[in-house]
Structure 1
């Protein structure tokens, strides 16, 4: 990427940040302070990983010489039963353990069910709300947020309490203006739309009109047509793309 210069050869600034031009022509302000902070954070995380690795190595040293882990676990189990045999017979210990295991598993299943429910609620609020509040979707796209979510919702996940986006190859989408940090929602959805094969069909029209506007196709769509969101959602992707293009020209409308 190259530093953007004005006609006098001076660096162009946006909010006090120098603007760089990427290879694809996109201009992005460079946050130097944020980058330095990110590098410091990543160095700290790396140090933490090294310390945990060293601690693990020390723990493993205590088991040097053991070549059969299964036999070692069996020996520990036998010794445990021998110690408890003073209270109950070894056979009864297995029964008690089985009952405890069943009770614990039932509690664990219940906790997992509740956790899954809370996770789903959090996802719907965090991700669904982001689509409905997105400035990029409102200003740049010709289809409403819920339809955008039906196409790109699967690209977003919640990790460590943060909304993280992934591209079509399964890679995290990082911010161009904040190197080392994941992209915020609007920057991520903009990136996804840029690489969407039918992006021209869902972007808002520039306002131009003429004889080249698409009026109808073999799917039965045409000028003055109106579809509900439920009807649009049930259409195959190719037809949705065509309808989206007609929405952008005003030939078709999507209603609630």
Structure 2
């Protein structure tokens, strides 16, 4: 990005916005004011977090060396406790020891299976609420996208993940998407969507006022070709159909 300047009486000055921030122009032409104090504070905070995370990682790595080769510490502890309670006669029989160990592991797995299932269910619900809800409430989609929200999520949803309870967006290269207006901070859902849509090769098919592909379905306004199913249509075909027949007709198609 480049600093936006203006020349007055032969001298060149940086152009600033209403907040007195120098204006930078990104490669796509978007102008953003640079908040230097916020950037310095963000860098200092991120450096502190990086140091804390590194120390935490080194401590955890050191602690885990004692458990090398043990895949399930909980089951291992339970099995060891069970073996210690056996009398000497049973310990002579290796087959009996193996049986007890297997039963101990099975008991632990059965005990915690519902907990793991509940955890997976809660994680799925969290994923649905944070990501699905973000798409449903997106002002960028409401103001700029011409196709239904579920189509947008089906196309771009894989770029969003839940990390430490927050929505994190990744670009086509697998890199995290950062905010342009908040340097050093991760982009929110709207900013990430604007970036992803901007790099989407079929964006004209989904943007309001887009050019369209010109190869959509044929038929009268509001009609639907016989036998067409939503699940069998590509994203571009769905966009073409909506442009040709309208969103109501699209929703009436069999799933």
TM-score (norm 2): 0.73
Q: Distance in 1 between matches of 2:150 and 2:85?
A: 61
Is residue 174 of structure 1 aligned with residue 178 of structure 2? yes
Where does 1:129-208 land on structure 2 (aligned, <5 Å)?
Answer: 129-205=133-209
- RMSD, aligned CA: 3.7
Paired position in structure 2 for 1:242: 240
**1:3 has 2:7 as partner:** no
Distance 1:7 1:242, change over 3 A: farther
When residues 16 and 108 of structure 1 are mapped into structure 2, their CA distance, relative to the original with a 3 A threshold, is farther
| Counterparts in 2 of 1:237 and 1:59: CA distance versus 1, 3 Å | closer
User: Higher relative contact order at CA 8 Å, sep ≥6: structure 1 or structure 2?
Assistant: 1
Answer with 48-57 or 22-31: which moved more.
48-57
The aligned runs of 1:119-130 (5 Å cut-off) are: 119-130=123-134
SS of the residue 1:89 aligns to = helix
CA distance in 2, matches of 1:147, 1:181: 28
Give 1:155 shift.
1.4
Deviations 1:123-155 (A, max 9, x none): 221111111111111111111212211211121
Distance of 1:80 and 1:214 partners within structure 2:
68
Counterparts of residues 80-99 of structure 1 (less than 5 Å): 89-90=90-91, 91=93, 92-99=96-103
- Equivalent residue for 2:246? 253
* DSSP 3-state at the match of 2:180: coil
CA shift digits 1:86-129 (9 cap, x unpaired) = 66632455443322211111233322211111111112211111
Helix, strand or coil for the counterpart of 1:13? coil
Task: Supply the distance in 2 between the matched residues of 1:19 and 1:227 (Cα, whole angstroms).
Answer: 50
Unaligned runs of 5+ in 1: 63-68, 71-78, 207-212
Give the distance between the partners of 1:203 and 1:59, measured in 2 at CA.
52
Aligned mates of 1:45, 1:243 — CA distance in 2: 49
Distance 2:208 2:196 in 1: 16
* Aligned pairs (5 A) from 1:62-77: none
Q: Does structure 1 retain, via aligned residues, the 8 Å contact 2:144–2:208? A: yes
Between the aligned partners of 1:216 and 1:176, the Cα distance in structure 2 is 34
1:38 pairs with 2:42: yes
Gaps of 5+ in 2: 71-79
1:138–1:49 CA distance, 2 compared to 1 (3 A): closer
| Structure-2 change in CA distance of 1:57 and 1:115 (3 Å) | closer
The aligned length equals 230
CA distance in 2, matches of 1:82, 1:134: 57
Name the CA distance, whole Å, in 1 between partners of 2:39 and 2:197.
26
State the TM-score, normalizing by the size of structure 1. Answer: 0.72
Report the CA distance between 1:191 and its aligned residue. 0.6
